[in-house]
Chain A
Amino acid sequence: MASLTGHTLFKKKEGILSFSSDHGAITWTPASGGPATVSLPVTNITNLQQTPDSSPKVMLKIFEKAESGNDPVTYLFHFNTQEAKAEAQAIKDLLSRLLADLRSTDANVSKLGAATAAPAANGDGSASASATLGSSNGISSQSMSPKWFDDSQLRMNIELQQSLMKKDKSLHQTYMSAISTKPDSMTSAAFNSQFWSMRINLLRAHAIEINQKKGAYNVLSTVKPRTVDGELKLNISVEQVQMIFAQHPLIKRIYNETVPRLSEAEFWSRFFLSKLAKRLKGERVTDNDPADAIFDKYSADGNALDEHAKTMSQPVPHIIDIEGNEENQGGFKGGNAKDVEMRPRANIPIVRTLNNLSEKIMANVPPSDSTTIDSKGLYDTSRGLILRDLRGEGEEQRIMLNIKERNNFFSSKDSPSLKNKDVFGNQQPTEILAKMRNLHAAGTDKVTDNGLQINIDLDVDSDSDKESKPGLNTARDAIKEAEKDVMAGIHQQRSQKYGGASDDSSPMGIPSLISEKSALTHATTIEFLHQFWDGFLSGDPDRAMEVQYLAESLARSTTRIQAVADEAEAERDNIIQKRKQEIRSHFERTGKKIRWKPDMVGGGRDAVSKVMQPTLDALRRAQDCYSKALGEENIQISTENV
């Protein structure tokens, strides 16, 4: 990037508008000499305005973000030379690109929104002769990335959503079943945006994923001409040609100049045999190489011209500044010359080629070692210096969520925990523990004594706990109770996870078909719950109708679960019938009875209800809340009964 300048008038004084070497600021230096009087950091620029092309005067207006939220400060530069248009255009282009880069690297969505909104507002205010130069246009046309950060764009992008669903089958299923059960009153567009608004993160990840392309690579090294039967064969794809042109502008130039005369194929086959190709690859050229009238005219140096300009303009952070290291001691350097082995030879073509190529391939990537200083006065790069394992605790970033009356969420009235509360509520944990330990010690001491035959009365507090049933008063019973409770929980958890008998497709003995169905029902129910709470808690009166529909759908969800449960019951009956049939036929054939009880068949309504219990609780809770809220508003529930 050569440094751009423009001759301008600023406050009726002549001067030069230019960029600082790191493109971090735009400066205006008076022609009369002296230091720059105007220096605007690019980060502070909020908007640009330019006179339209038709206007005879060429002016560029820059808005600088003002401190403490005042109106932005404006700077008007008048380009007054012959090349005014070109200069102004160049500066504007660079500036808008810098701004775009700046914003695209800023992952903070809200800030992006604010930044783009501000120029628009400013534009309205000062819409005089100069046409507003939407700096936001520049952004979207120049860089793709902001698309990923804009929620609404993601929500609207149906193509993207479909491709995501194609990839993620279960998401697709959820979507389909959700859409099939959505209330009719809800438009599919509304449903769509509802559905996706909760999955923006998935969409964004997917968008970024599919937008990733294979990066540039050293293309010349991949093309290998082969000689078959004395004839040169070359496989080269369009994409490779494009990449060659991109990496070696020189070849593009030669191609432009020669190809109409030379056939495409001949051009490439001659090129890959020429000395130029060898030079570009960094190989040594020998006298034996065939001469080529076209390619020998060009020198490979022409390819790398722009690189050196770049070398000069880029500041390097101090911690990797090798040049600075070389110059570290200052003054007259002593020491003997390096020995032959360590003295680098003047020019090894391959070395330069390797570096040039790699640099070219990485040219589009912003350097990772920026020299911009962050708020803590540290370079990005010097932050990398901090030993990560020796760093203290980071500041907490989360927001504490305080839930009032938490109990209401977790205990329904007749849940066993509540019952237990009465039993165990008055016991002192430390005492119990001590007694437990005694019991245990006693038990192990008297192994001969037929196990736990001791009857130490670990009486909890029989006088204080009046309500407690007599059977529960001994510690043994208490332990048993606890054990039963815990084991039941574990059993249920286990059977939900792994199925009754090591068969994980049928949790709790529910046949796999039914279990799949319940899983799906569960997913859709959760989906509706999501939407319901989202709408319900928003407190937005405009969404009242929507919430009502959603509440209805919750009711329907309950019936759906019931339906699944019924189905499961039917299935179970079916199995029992079959089994009975089998037993009967078996008996008829062999005369032997098989001991079997219908209880041994798992699944059925109970199992499904058990599995779905949390979901049903959640539904009930949601509906209660809704009806309570309605009750407070004195509105009758207009739809079917809950």
Chain B
Amino acid sequence: MGNSISYMCDLKKTLDAGGHCVLEMPSGTGKTVSLLSLIVAYQQHMPEKRKLIYCSRTMSEIEKALVELQSLMKYRAEQLGYEEEFRGLGLTSRKNLCLHPSVKREKSGSVVDARCRSLTAGFVKEKKDRGENVDVCVYHDNLDLLEPHNLIPNGVWSFDALLKYGEEHKQCPYFTARRMMEYCNVVIFSYHYLLDPKIAERVTKDFSKDCIVVFDEAHNIDNVCIESLSTDITEDSIRKATRSAQHLERRIAEMRETDQEQLQNEYEKLVQGLREADESRQEDAFMANPALPDDLLKEAVPGNIRRAEHFVAFLKRFLEYLKTRMKVRQVISETPLSFLAHLKEHTFIERKPLRFCAERLTSLVRTLELMNIEDYQALQEVATFATLVATYEKGFLLILEPYESDTAEVPNPTLHFTCLDAAIAIRPVFERFYSVIITSGTISPLEMYPKMLDFATVIQESYSMTLARRSFLPMIVTRGSDQASVSSSFQVRNEPSVVRNYGSLLTEFAKITPDGLVVFFPSYLYMESIISMWQGMGILDEVWKYKLILVETPDAQETSLALETYRTACCNGRGAILLCVARGKVSEGIDFDHQYGRTVLCIGVPFQYTESRILKARLEFLRETYRIKENDFLSFDAMRHAAQCLGRVLRGKDDYGVMVLADRRFQKKRNQLPKWINQGLSDADTNLSTDMAVSSARRFLKTMAQPFRSKDQEGISTWGYEDLMQHQRKIEEERGDEPPPPSANARAANDNRTTTYESDYEDIDQDMMELEGF
């Protein structure tokens, strides 16, 4: 528990200093709750009541954080004797929060977005008021009847609770959450809402500078940054965009005949650069500008695309140009500047109007009052691409790949516009907010992040884990039972002996692991080929005797169902194996705690596909700009994903699990594992063959199956109030009898610490016993 205290102390130091920090705290030791409890206490104590913006990766994690916050606030109310004036909300996509009976049934999230917009757009309401017969969304319109700053009562609302409240009061949960963002003490949402300018501009532009920003599970944050400024254009999207452009043209012609005035109005507005006034209530606009706020041009739309018909012609010209570029049959990689130069040379399209593409299109869609905007998605992609390519020069690259892979014969050209520098997207966040906390269970090596994201920290720290018993067993398996080495490197990974050795590793662990066994593969391709080979070798038939087998699939819904079946089988005692991918959907945000994962097998080092041109470009960029060596980055990237997979199996100190890294190459990468895993890895366990690993794991599981009473942990891994006080005295003594600065802040933190950890004081032995049954 000492580590939680130092974690919280360091957090507070960061907040006091008003700087940024990177903290690594072992998975499943109450990181989220420590973080929330400290910040909420800090927030409630200080007069400024700084808002907390808590960002996590996936909806699952956001929901988990909300539930934790809920119980924290309940605990605070119990301790304080009254409920604080406090509001905490989470935000996710429309797809996840929709209640409209028909819209919510749409399978695709972008269709839900589009249909929602066409029901809730400002002009739809105007039409309705004029008495026209248009479809509206009751849930959305009911919000207008409420006080705008009090759409939902105080309290912490998880998504489930929010949906339930919305259903009961017939009000839209999505817009409730979104409009209430500014009145919340704690806001929990995905990184994208801060990092991706396409979303951030609409949602978070009103947040004040003193907000406390937390990026939890941030080990992957650089990729999110890069993603938010990258985009792809395919032949298919150009085809669809062309069709949409033609459609737009027709609509403009129609409108000219019926409502000339409307178009003229728009033109006037664009001349005067009046977008601000117009945008005041544009939360539901067609699309936001994909460029970062600092890079937006604060001037009027250039003359040559002001008229609607001119703009459409402009778009069509640009599309034609892209079409001809796609015809090239060799790989081209060029900078945005060279692309723009080539573009200008052939089509006379200037850079400036191109930059306004996204904005101009938004305005046009609004003017035309288009109802079925989902048809314009491809055009939106092209406009995004145009704006990005014309805005950014440095840290970006255009790569045209005519073939999907080196062996493919049929061309399927894709034009990648790729961001190479993760710092670009996150820089505005660091500049805007003065306390940014980046934390995760597996964020080693810590110094990599400030380097890659280009910021300075007040504190960088990795905490270890104090345990009353050795509750996880990391092992590195380098050889199969036949002593042949195992590895997923490209040269040997499809060799039958390697596949068979991996297969026998799986079979053996299926035999000894109770309940759930999770297996991670480096990629989809490898997973699929190895499963097919296992089936052919009869390995799966053997595994079926012990466990059910479930596999992550490309389809999210199918995978959800597979996961549910897996969890049911784990609870029911049947036991199951889940085969999934280290960078896939399951590895992000799904926990395999307790019976859901007693063993995790990491088959192969989850390296990225090194032949990828995008990756190569990024490696080069990292070397030249930040002096990060290619191999260092690749290895770091692989190990953070491996660590992430391993960390999934532990949640709480009563949990236990075996962690197996099965690849010869892991032996050398041991030091890149997070501190807490590396400490648990004994030297004897770093070079095992399958049979040694199995016997070691068997012994471990037997030990763990013994009753473990929570009393045994007291004072070691869980502290009561007394332990805490003792620790504090010890720290003070170490500091040399210097009394701690008796500032109000310190007291606030102390108060809080007691509130949080008093609850550790005693557990129910029965609960622990229950566990041993598994």
Chain A positions near chain B (C-beta within 8 angstroms): 215, 217-218, 221-222, 224, 281-284, 310-311, 314, 316-337, 339-346, 348, 350-352, 354-355, 357-359, 361-362, 365-369, 371, 373, 377-379, 382, 384-394
Q: Point out the residues of chain A lying under 8 angstroms from B579, CB to CB.
A: 354
Q: Point out the residues of chain A lying under 8 angstroms from B583, CB to CB.
A: 342
A365 touches B572 (CB 8 A): yes
Q: Contacts A334-B384, A358-B550, A387-B651 hold; do A283 and B67 have CB atoms under 8 A apart?
A: no
List 9 interface pairs A-B (beta carbons < 8 Å), by A numbering.
A319-B60, A323-B560, A329-B93, A350-B531, A354-B540, A355-B561, A362-B548, A388-B652, A392-B759
In-complex Cβ contact of A393 among B568, B571, B762 (8 A): B762
How far is B563's CA from A342's CA once the two chains are assembled, in angstroms? 20
Determine how close the nearest CB of chain A comes to the CB of B4; give it in whole angstroms.
9
Q: Contacts A221-B540, A281-B535, A342-B583 hold; do A330 and B95 have CB atoms under 8 A apart?
A: yes
A355 touches B568 (CB 8 A): no
How far is B44's CA from A93's CA once the two chains are assembled, in angstroms? 55
How far is B639's CA from A378's CA once the two chains are assembled, in angstroms? 36
How far is B535's CA from A352's CA once the two chains are assembled, in angstroms? 13
B553 touches A389 (CB 8 A): no
How many residue pairs link A and B with beta carbons under 8 A? The number is: 302
Interface residues on B, range: 35 or more
Determine how close the nearest CB of chain B comes to the CB of A485; give it in whole angstroms.
32
Q: Point out the residues of chain A lying under 8 angstroms from B164, CB to CB.
A: 373
A389 touches B763 (CB 8 A): yes
B548 touches A322 (CB 8 A): no
Q: Point out the residues of chain B lying under 8 angstroms from A314, CB to CB.
A: 561, 564
Q: Point out the residues of chain B lying under 8 angstroms from A335, CB to CB.
A: 226-228, 230-232
Query: Could you say which of A281, A322, A355 has the most chain B C-beta atoms within 10 Å of its C-beta?
Result: A322
In-complex Cβ contact of B713 among A334, A382, A386, A389 (8 A): A389
Task: Please provide the chain B residues from 520 to 576 with a CB less than 8 Å away from any CB of chain A in the complex.
Answer: 522-526, 528, 531-532, 535-536, 540-541, 544-545, 548-551, 553-554, 556-572, 574, 576
How far is B164's CA from A348's CA once the two chains are assembled, in angstroms? 39
Determine how close the nearest CB of chain B comes to the CB of A573; give it in whole angstroms.
49
B159 touches A330 (CB 8 A): no
Instruction: Determine whether B196 belongs to the interface, using a CB cutoff of 8 Å to chain A.
Output: yes
Task: Please provide the chain B residues from 178 to 206 with a CB less than 8 Å away from any CB of chain A in the complex.
Answer: 190, 192-193, 196, 198-199
In-complex Cβ contact of A368 among B109, B199, B567 (8 A): B567
Q: Point out the residues of chain A lying under 8 angstroms from B609, CB to CB.
A: 339-342
Query: Could you say which of B159, B574, B611 has the most chain A C-beta atoms within 10 Å of its C-beta?
Result: B574
Instruction: Determine whether B320 belongs to the interface, using a CB cutoff of 8 Å to chain A.
Output: no
**Segment of B292-300, B584-592, B695-703, B743-751 engaged in the interface with chain A:** B584-592
Determine how close the nearest CB of chain B comes to the CB of A70; give it in whole angstroms.
23
Determine how close the nearest CB of chain B comes to the CB of A220; give it in whole angstroms.
9
A389 touches B92 (CB 8 A): no
Query: Could you say which of B192, B418, B568, B713 has the most chain A C-beta atoms within 10 Å of its C-beta?
Result: B568
Determine how close the nearest CB of chain A comes to the CB of B91; give it in whole angstroms.
9
B64 touches A387 (CB 8 A): no
A322 touches B585 (CB 8 A): yes
Q: Point out the residues of chain A lying under 8 angstroms from B654, CB to CB.
A: 388-389
Instruction: Determine whether B28 belongs to the interface, using a CB cutoff of 8 Å to chain A.
Output: yes
Instruction: Determine whether B113 belongs to the interface, using a CB cutoff of 8 Å to chain A.
Output: yes
Q: Contacts A331-B93, A378-B67 hold; do A389 and B653 have CB atoms under 8 A apart?
A: yes
Q: Point out the residues of chain A lying under 8 angstroms from B109, CB to CB.
A: 326-327, 330
Determine how close the nearest CB of chain B comes to the CB of A357; give it in whole angstroms.
8
B549 touches A341 (CB 8 A): no
In-complex Cβ contact of A331 among B113, B230, B717 (8 A): B113
B563 touches A320 (CB 8 A): yes
Q: Point out the residues of chain B lying under 8 angstroms from A350, CB to CB.
A: 531-532, 535
How far is B559's CA from A358's CA once the two chains are assembled, in angstroms? 13
B763 touches A339 (CB 8 A): no
How far is B227's CA from A359's CA once the two chains are assembled, in angstroms? 35
Instruction: Determine whether B126 belongs to the interface, using a CB cutoff of 8 Å to chain A.
Output: no
How far is B165's CA from A1's CA once the two chains are assembled, in angstroms? 28
A343 touches B199 (CB 8 A): no
Q: Point out the residues of chain B lying under 8 angstroms from A217, CB to CB.
A: 544-545
Determine how close the nearest CB of chain B comes to the CB of A202; give it in whole angstroms.
19
A222 touches B556 (CB 8 A): no
B571 touches A368 (CB 8 A): yes
Instruction: Determine whether B68 belongs to the interface, using a CB cutoff of 8 Å to chain A.
Output: yes
- The proximity string for B residues 377-409 relative to A, scoring 1 for CB distances below 8 Å and 0 otherwise, is 100110010000000000000000000110000
Determine how close the nearest CB of chain B comes to the CB of A17; give it in whole angstroms.
18
Given contacts A325-B60, A327-B96, 8 further A-B contacts (CB under 8 A): A317-B160, A318-B96, A320-B60, A329-B192, A332-B380, A334-B227, A341-B525, A392-B762
Q: Contacts A330-B95, A339-B615 hold; do A369 and B568 have CB atoms under 8 A apart?
A: yes
Q: Contacts A283-B535, A320-B567, A388-B652 hold; do A332 and B381 have CB atoms under 8 A apart?
A: yes
Instruction: Determine whether B464 belongs to the interface, using a CB cutoff of 8 Å to chain A.
Output: no
B60 touches A221 (CB 8 A): no
Q: Contacts A334-B227, A354-B550, A388-B654 hold; do A215 and B574 have CB atoms under 8 A apart?
A: yes
Q: Point out the residues of chain A lying under 8 angstroms from B614, CB to CB.
A: 336, 339
A345 touches B196 (CB 8 A): no
Determine how close the nearest CB of chain A comes to the CB of B553; give it in whole angstroms.
6
Q: Point out the residues of chain B lying under 8 angstroms from A282, CB to CB.
A: 535
How far is B228's CA from A335's CA once the two chains are assembled, in angstroms? 6
In-complex Cβ contact of B526 among A341, A366, A388, A391 (8 A): A341
Q: Point out the residues of chain B lying under 8 angstroms from A218, CB to CB.
A: 544, 548
Q: Contacts A327-B93, A331-B93, A341-B523 hold; do A318 and B160 have CB atoms under 8 A apart?
A: yes
Instruction: Determine whether B462 belongs to the interface, using a CB cutoff of 8 Å to chain A.
Output: no
Q: Point out the residues of chain A lying under 8 angstroms from B416, CB to CB.
A: 336-337
Q: Contacts A311-B558, A325-B589, A389-B763 hold; do A382 and B158 have CB atoms under 8 A apart?
A: yes
Instruction: Determine whether B760 belongs to the interface, using a CB cutoff of 8 Å to chain A.
Output: yes
In-complex Cβ contact of A324 among B96, B576, B611 (8 A): B96
Instruction: Determine whether B485 belongs to the interface, using a CB cutoff of 8 Å to chain A.
Output: no
Task: Please provide the chain B residues from 49 to 81 with a CB less than 8 Å away from any CB of chain A in the complex.
Answer: 58-60, 62-64, 67-68, 71, 75
A369 touches B199 (CB 8 A): no
A322 touches B565 (CB 8 A): no
How far is B608's CA from A135's CA once the two chains are assembled, in angstroms? 59
Q: Contacts A314-B561, A345-B525 hold; do A368 and B760 have CB atoms under 8 A apart?
A: no
Instruction: Determine whether B110 belongs to the interface, using a CB cutoff of 8 Å to chain A.
Output: yes
Q: Contacts A344-B524, A358-B569 hold; do A392 and B761 have CB atoms under 8 A apart?
A: yes
Q: Contacts A355-B558, A390-B759 hold; do A337 and B414 have CB atoms under 8 A apart?
A: yes
In-complex Cβ contact of A321 among B60, B158, B287, B713 (8 A): B60
Determine how close the nearest CB of chain A comes to the CB of B21; give it in whole angstroms.
23
What residue in chain A is nearest B78 (Cβ atoms)?
A392
How far is B30's CA from A311's CA once the two chains are assembled, in angstroms? 34
B230 touches A336 (CB 8 A): yes
How far is B92's CA from A330's CA once the two chains are assembled, in angstroms? 7
- The proximity string for B residues 758-774 relative to A, scoring 1 for CB distances below 8 Å and 0 otherwise, is 11111110011001000
Determine how close the nearest CB of chain A comes to the CB of B138; give it in whole angstroms.
9
Q: Point out the residues of chain A lying under 8 angstroms from B576, CB to CB.
A: 358
Instruction: Determine whether B306 belongs to the interface, using a CB cutoff of 8 Å to chain A.
Output: no
Determine how close the nearest CB of chain B comes to the CB of A19; give it in whole angstroms.
15
Q: Point out the residues of chain A lying under 8 angstroms from B540, CB to CB.
A: 221, 354
| Complex A-B, nearest 4 residue pairs according to Cβ-Cβ distance, in ascending order | A330-B93, A335-B227, A344-B554, A327-B109
Instruction: Determine whether B581 belongs to the interface, using a CB cutoff of 8 Å to chain A.
Output: yes
Instruction: Determine whether B499 belongs to the interface, using a CB cutoff of 8 Å to chain A.
Output: no
Determine how close the nearest CB of chain B comes to the CB of A81; give it in whole angstroms.
24
How far is B568's CA from A359's CA once the two chains are assembled, in angstroms? 10
A322 touches B544 (CB 8 A): no
Instruction: Determine whether B514 belongs to the interface, using a CB cutoff of 8 Å to chain A.
Output: no
A322 touches B590 (CB 8 A): yes
B161 touches A331 (CB 8 A): no
- The proximity string for B residues 352-379 relative to A, scoring 1 for CB distances below 8 Å and 0 otherwise, is 0000000000000000000000000100
Q: Contacts A311-B557, A320-B60, A332-B110 hold; do A355 and B572 have CB atoms under 8 A apart?
A: no
In-complex Cβ contact of A334 among B92, B228, B558, B760 (8 A): B228
A320 touches B564 (CB 8 A): yes
Instruction: Determine whether B151 belongs to the interface, using a CB cutoff of 8 Å to chain A.
Output: no
